Amino acid sequence: MLALGTLEDLPADYREKLTRQNLVPLWPSLRSVLPPGKPALRTQPILWSYQALRPLLLQAGELTPIEKAERRVLVLANPGHGLEKMQASSSIYLGMQLLLPGEWAPAHKHTPNAVRMIVEGEGAYTTVDGEKCPMSRGDLILTPTGLWHEHGHDGKDPVVWLDVLDLPLVYYMEASYVTEGKAQEVSATMNERGYARGGVVPAPVFSRSSDRRYPMLRYAWSDARSALLGLAESQPGIDAVQVAYVNPETGGDCQNILGFSALMLRPGETLKLPARSPAMVFHLIEGGADVEIDRALFNLSPADTCCAPGYTPVTLKNRSSEQPAFVFIADEAPLHKKLGVYEVRA
């Protein structure tokens, strides 16, 4: 590829004239905005150890009352983007949130989509659009764009969950904002029970519940886990024991921008994922797994979280030859597919 002219090749007075007119020559920057063959990836493979972050999160509980935080979160930031950007990847934000017994994180709604993957503790709940969603380890709770949500805690021990938002993208779009609200009236709880059996959906004769853009807000881990075990048993030849969190009315991705799935690594299994354009996040729910991303090798213990840049092959390995390992995955695939830039490389 031909070397192009640089800024320094241009006379200083010409450059000043361009600047005064808010003009920029393309050719000195062409190779950096359109690098050959593969994007320049800012996202680095990074591991966030739960054992290392947990004491710091609990300390935040002592240092900062909930009223002074609104959301008491330590952000899992990727140094490749600069920590202050609070990004795990170009479009994924990750945060570990702590709620102590009796605390309440007040109602608001915002344009970015969020999900929560519950990490530890019992007795907390998120109320989303009037639906009370109890939290237990491994449950996935959606708070899609524009829906009111607040968090409460009636239990005895600290509750921690992983927030996954498309905030970096929505912020970049200059479309990120919040609206504060009053405590919601609870009008439903665990609507997802109507979807607990695959293949049948609520269909009352007088109204179709598919009118709701987000019919399912809570995905119980007990259901996802038993679906994975059932899949492994019924289809022993399957490439990957993986289930996607979908909108049960449409079968499509449960949210518009980020995709979510759960993966079971069978005892002794090594799974090679092809290089795909979207960045990915792996959070270990149960078991022990090694994740190889480029030249990085991470040994994940339960509640550890790591991220992989796009266009990079990833190998996941179950460390146990006796027990399955369970991994929660978030990725940018729905975004890439909608925008037409999705790629899988052999």
List interacting residues with ligand GTQ (CB under 6 A): 71, 73, 95, 97, 110, 114, 149, 163, 165
Residues 159, 117 contacting (CB under 8 angstroms): no
For residue 307, give Cα distances in angstroms to 146, 164, 175, 245, 297: 27, 12, 25, 19, 12
User: Whose Cβ is closer to ligand GTQ: residue 95's or residue 168's?
Assistant: 95
User: Whose Cβ is closer to ligand GTQ: residue 152's or residue 259's?
Assistant: 152
Find the shortest distance in angstroms from Cβ 64 to ligand GTQ: 14
User: Whose Cβ is closer to ligand GTQ: residue 54's or residue 225's?
Assistant: 54
User: Whose Cβ is closer to ligand GTQ: residue 141's or residue 314's?
Assistant: 141
> What CA–CA distance (Å, rounded) separates 196 from 176?
33
User: Whose Cβ is closer to ligand GTQ: residue 127's or residue 247's?
Assistant: 127
What is the helix (H) or strand (E) element at residue 260, kind and residue range?
A: strand 259-265
What is the amino acid identity at position 101? P
DSSP letters of 143-211? E-TT--EEEEE-SSS-EEEEEEE-HHHHHHTT---EEE-PPPPP-EE-GGGGGSSTT-----TT--GGG
Residue with tokens 């909108």: 247
User: Whose Cβ is closer to ligand GTQ: residue 95's or residue 278's?
Assistant: 95
Find the shortest distance in angstroms from Cβ 178 to ligand GTQ: 7
CA R_g for the chain: 22
User: Whose Cβ is closer to ligand GTQ: residue 129's or residue 286's?
Assistant: 129
Find the shortest distance in angstroms from Cβ 311 to ligand GTQ: 27
Find the shortest distance in angstroms from Cβ 73 to ligand GTQ: 4
> What CA–CA distance (Å, rounded) separates 160 from 302?
13
Find the shortest distance in angstroms from Cβ 150 to ligand GTQ: 8
Q: β-strand 140-143 against 218-219: which pairing, if any?
A: antiparallel
> What CA–CA distance (Å, rounded) separates 326 from 329?
10
Find the shortest distance in angstroms from Cβ 44 to ligand GTQ: 21
Residue with tokens 């519940």: 209
Find the shortest distance in angstroms from Cβ 123 to ligand GTQ: 17
